[in-house]
Structure 1
Amino acid sequence: MDSHYDVVIVGAGLQGLATARIFLQMEPDLNVVILDSNETIGGVWAKEKLYPGLATNNLRGTFEYTDFPMDDSFGVKESEHLPGESIYEYFCRYAEKHILTRRIQFSTKVTVAEKLQEGWKLELESVVGNGHTTEDGKEILPLPAQRTITCAKLVIATGLTSVQQPINIKGSENFQVPIVNFGDYPREAEKIYEDEAIKNVTVIGGGKAAYDIVYLMAAHGKQVTWIIRASGHGPTYMAPAHIYVGPFRCWLEKLTTTRIFTFFSPCIWGDADGFGYVRNLLHGTKWGRWIVDTFWWKLGSDLIDQTHIAKHPETKKLMPDQPPFWYGVSLAILNYPTDIYEFVRGRQVEVLRKDVKCLESLKTIRFEDGSSVESDALVCSMGWKFEPTIDFRPKEIHADLGIPSADFSHAQKELWDRLDARADLEIFERFPKLATGPKVDHDSLMVQQNLPNSALADKTALRKEVSPWRLWRGIAPPSLPTRDIVFLGMFFLFQGAVRSETSSIWAYAYLYGKFKGPFTSVSKPSAALNLDQRVPAEEQLQAMQKEKEEVNGIMYDTALFNRFGKWRTPYGFGSRNPDVVFEGIAYFDLLLQDLGLNSWRKGWGWMGEIFGGSYDQADYRGLVEEWRRSQKKEKV
């Protein structure tokens, strides 16, 4: 086993596997290793993380790599949702095809990443005697419990759904019934629904994961109390895979990748699609914004109408609190065998919009309004930790890395506050609608700590504030002097498979100095920018430009990227990391332009882009070879 590698990739899921394949396709002789804390391949789709009924929001054809289409042998027909077992099998075959399995060290967790003058030193914790075998059937020797390795390049590809938030509800130490966090749900679900002594199950959460839990428990005959916080974001939008927008039946996922529909979303990097003049008309003029508002009103009303939740007093409790414009990828698909809302209409599932105060002895759940319910089991969908699970050292480089951290110096925090303030000015000037968004009183950048239950009564001791993810292009550190680390997959986007490939090519070019440059800035301030009446518009613009030049544009572009998310998806995850839906194709355009590749891939120029239908895997097939050919031409 080596102690030094050319490239270490942390994570063997959707992103990590694509990165390994692409890096090795670029340089077959690279010494690459993939580290994963799971026992099997697949990340969130690892075998041990699957639970009954788990399936993708995607239909077959949109959750696959461009070089490895899913066929009938996976047991999924066209226009069917992909069950978790099929996704796991898909990743296994993909790794075998590209000879990646032998490069993966399972049950291996990176605990510390220390910056060296050149490269990184990693401290690992491994499960001794994991029993895995190589492709030729030989048993892998047991790994030492703790060891240290070094690498020249480090790729963090763990994604944003690896570690669940702790429950930390006051009184849980005295609760006498099973309490299950969603992260443990795959191991515990069967125990709950097969236990005849458990009659009533309480589920906390309003996202897709909570929907899955509620459906599985109700389908097994349990009486379910579904608690959605009154002070939170409320229920998410749920929709069929195909919806009617007016008289047109649309595949909802492909609606988000059809160029003409992406124009209806404001996008700070949107000019990369080559249709900036259209966006300016739609988002920069009064009549244009009326058209945009009409589009989103119609989309939202059609979503609600086709789920019929507004037509019954019980299902009406699952109405989202805001129009769909303000949500990101939390919008999910109703991929269940039967109608989940029938359980609600029949009162087998009772929906409560209340805040939990505490858990009382035996099996009582007490609410802030003084009322209570009894439960035989409690399952909590509290979300995922968005801050890194790796301890990056020294702490002084956290701001340079762009990772969520509470360890910024005063000067670092002051710089980012200044950049954020200027970014807000530009965003509101370019997209006035974003200044009118819902003022959500939430603490999305407050993270819970694992503390003894005795400390739970002190809410201030439970939580700390951290910075959001601040990555250039959503990938690279904004101000680290050395190019030896990237963060891939820290980005919520429907087109995850295509993102994993395009971002991997971009990451390789970044790490190995292959960009032709110069880079396109996503900034486009205008002389009309004058939100601070004490500063003349021209002076403000000049000051803004001067500061951009001082930080080489990258830090300011990063601030724009981050702050756009905050204002675009306040009911999603945009405050802490990129969360995009209709902006995904323009994001791919931006990455491809950085790489010097053609971002209009439909043919026939602008007519093909407008009338050529939705973008899918086939449009991005062969990108690696396309880029390699462009590099050879550049050398000639």
Structure 2
Amino acid sequence: MLDPRTSSVGVLGSGAAGLITAYTLLQDGFKDVTIITRDKTPGGVWADERVYPGLTINNVHGEFRFSPQPVPPAKSKTKRLSGFEMRDYMQKFAENYLQNKIHYGLEILKVTRANRSPSGWNVEVRDLNSNEQKTLQFDKIVLCTGVWMQQAFRSDEISPASAKTAAFKGRIFHSQNFRSELDRLHAEGQNESAFGEVVIVGGGKSAQDVASYLANKGVKVTIVFETTDAFLAVTSPLPDFIRRSRFLSIVSPHSTLNSRLERFLHTTSLGSNIAHFIWKQIIAGSFAAAEVSDDSPLKNTHDAFWGIRINDEGVPQPDGFHKLVKAGKINIVSPTRVASYSTDGDSVILNNGGKLRADTVVLATGYTSSWHPIFDEETSVDLGLNRHPPDPSLLQTENEWNDYVSLRNPPKAHPSGEQWASSIYRGIVPAKNLLNRDFAINGAVFTTNNGYAFEVTSHWISSYFLGDKNLKLPSSPEEALAHADRNSAWLRKRYPDMLLWANESYSSDLAFWTWPQVIDELLEDMGLKTYRSGGNWLTWPFKVIELQEIEHLKEERDELRGAGKQ
């Protein structure tokens, strides 16, 4: 039988998921591993061409990293790594472990099955330096494009095309291009004042970061949104046993309740009241820490319990978003949205009939899926990549969790039949392609601890490609699809309407606060120890989760193989 390690593996994307996936495959003995990216540097969202002053990581220090490489102390007062520090970390990781494995400046045009036996993939690319097009061939593919290879989402009403039709005279660009716009400005010998009056469309993290940077440069900024992200904030840093433990994951329900404490919190009235009280106190404390008054438009946030649009601000700083709003340096117009460009050429029209002057419009409006541009319909169908409307006969699956008292009285949402179901098993393998073992995804599961999640997922993928007998898999594509459908039913119940908001390239699973439970499921699949942070019946919810817990997963998997459990 052919050794899977002789297979050529193409890793599409050089973000965090792509880097750790390639590293793990190489450590497991795969000889021919190549990362393909259109970027000039590694890191994805943290690539040099995307980071800009004021961009900060939305994780507590020590979470977003990989076990082989320590993370340096944060230099900021918030104890959060800046975008530039994350860039340096990713570049150092690539230099240390992936020399000559990353092919930069290659834009992926199309991915199709190769016409060769028994399997294989063609990846059509364009060299951005020479404009030459060529086809690369791989036996296996790991899709790690995340949201950063994709085109920015812009509604038709506020798209650049609409701006042109309305003869808008100012600048217009998406927030993902903010760094390149800054570079262009500085190359012309101008400073940020050249942006004039800026209107930022959207209330998410990127909108807030751009607004904060410009306000700190003295630029007049107005940010427009209907609802902004919820956030966590404290007056002083929380102890690690609260913020870096399982505590928040336990007070957030998961599809399977594995402990008495979780069952108490989510299936009893008293426990549910306690769980909701904790969340209400967390959010109330966050508003207080950021000095957000009751009449502030910043109170127009998504629900922190029922949603996944939550930022972790830590200790608010004077030059941070919420304090700048309080100081009057950032103007907020909410709840409303930008509906169109005015025909006067220098303003935008709001859906409430108002008008805002704008010399520059920044669209912080989200992204479309990174998968659609590179997979044609035939390949998507053949692979089973696309999500689909829920099977009407399976809608009753949501009743499985009717005993979850904590999920009663959800916010108003679209009917389940109008939402989505994923076709991706564990958020990693398209169910239809399960038995081929030649395609996997890393980075499509939405979590709050990407470093830990990406690394464990990379080991699961490597075991899957190696054909490890100890890796527990469904017996058939049909069983895998049933599992994916069940998980989608759970997500529709747990996070109403979130599957309509999040695009499919990072919503195969929404393991937000409950990422420890989801990671334990992957570890259990591989036959490895779960609940690695330890503790006894009383202390386990508060034990700090560290990357050192998973630094020897390769050796553990090797031992299982050698013990005859292959």
With the length of structure 2 as denominator, give the TM-score of the two structures: 0.86
CA distance in 1, matches of 2:250, 2:338: 41
Q: Structure 1: any 5+ residue segments left out of the alignment?
A: 130-141, 446-464, 521-548
CA distance in 1, matches of 2:560, 2:393: 35
Q: Does the aligned pair in 1 maintain the 2:228–2:301 contact within 8 Å? A: yes
Which residue is 2:331 aligned to? 350
**Superposition map of 1:534-613 within 5 A:** 553-570=479-496, 572=498, 576=502, 577=507, 578-603=509-534, 606=537, 609-610=540-541, 613=543
Structure 1 residues 267-321: Cα deviation after superposition (integer angstroms, max 9, x where no partner): 01443xxx1x33222222222222222222222221222211025x4xx101144
Which residue is 1:37 aligned to? 38
CA distance in 2, matches of 1:587, 1:629: 23
* AA at the equivalent of 1:172: A
1:303 aligns with 2:301: no
**Superposition map of 1:387-426 within 5 A:** 387-393=370-376, 395=378, 397-398=380-381, 401-404=384-387, 416-418=390-392, 420-426=394-400
- How far residue 56 of structure 1 moved from its aligned partner, in angstroms, is 0.9
- Judged with a 3 Å threshold, the aligned counterparts in structure 2 of structure 1 residues 403 and 336 are, in CA distance, closer, same or farther, namely farther
Which residue is 2:261 aligned to? 278
CA distance in 1, matches of 2:393, 2:472: 22
Q: Does the aligned pair in 1 maintain the 2:54–2:213 contact within 8 Å? A: yes
472-481 or 549-558, which moves further after superposition? 549-558
**Superposition map of 1:6-405 within 5 A:** 6-28=8-30, 30-71=31-72, 76=75, 80-98=79-97, 100-116=98-114, 118-127=118-127, 129=129, 145-163=132-150, 164-169=152-157, 171-173=162-164, 174-189=167-182, 191=185, 194=191, 196-229=193-226, 234-240=227-233, 242=234, 250-251=238-239, 255=242, 257-271=244-258, 275=259, 277-310=260-293, 313=295, 316-328=296-308, 330-333=310-313, 338-353=319-334, 354-361=336-343, 362-393=345-376, 395=378, 397-398=380-381, 401-404=384-387
Number of aligned residues: 540
Q: Does the aligned pair in 1 maintain the 2:193–2:218 contact within 8 Å? A: no
- Judged with a 3 Å threshold, the aligned counterparts in structure 2 of structure 1 residues 441 and 424 are, in CA distance, closer, same or farther, namely closer
- Calculate the aligned-residue CA RMSD, in Å: 3.1
Match of 1:439 among 409, 412, 416: 412
Give the match's secondary structure for 1:81.
Answer: coil
Give the match's secondary structure for 1:392.
Answer: coil
Which residue is 1:499 aligned to? 453
Match of 2:424 among 446, 471, 478: 471
* AA at the equivalent of 2:551: R
* AA at the equivalent of 1:347: G
CA distance in 2, matches of 1:476, 1:84: 31
Q: Does the aligned pair in 2 maintain the 1:401–1:479 contact within 8 Å? A: yes
Q: Does the aligned pair in 2 maintain the 1:568–1:574 contact within 8 Å? A: no
Which residue is 1:523 aligned to? none
CA distance in 1, matches of 2:163, 2:439: 40
Give the match's secondary structure for 1:154.
Answer: strand
With the length of structure 1 as denominator, give the TM-score of the two structures: 0.77
Structure 1 residues 484-540: Cα deviation after superposition (integer angstroms, max 9, x where no partner): 1011101221111111110011011122321425559xxxxxxxxxxxxxxxxxxxx
CA distance in 2, matches of 1:346, 1:259: 36
CA distance in 1, matches of 2:239, 2:382: 41
- How far residue 54 of structure 1 moved from its aligned partner, in angstroms, is 1.4
- Judged with a 3 Å threshold, the aligned counterparts in structure 2 of structure 1 residues 401 and 511 are, in CA distance, closer, same or farther, namely farther
CA distance in 2, matches of 1:61, 1:197: 38
Which residue is 1:543 aligned to? none
Give the match's secondary structure for 1:479.
Answer: helix
CA distance in 1, matches of 2:534, 2:522: 19
- How far residue 348 of structure 1 moved from its aligned partner, in angstroms, is 3.3
- How far residue 243 of structure 1 moved from its aligned partner, in angstroms, is 5.6
- Judged with a 3 Å threshold, the aligned counterparts in structure 2 of structure 1 residues 504 and 125 are, in CA distance, closer, same or farther, namely same
CA distance in 2, matches of 1:387, 1:568: 25
- How far residue 158 of structure 1 moved from its aligned partner, in angstroms, is 1.1
* AA at the equivalent of 1:47: D
- How far residue 355 of structure 1 moved from its aligned partner, in angstroms, is 2.5
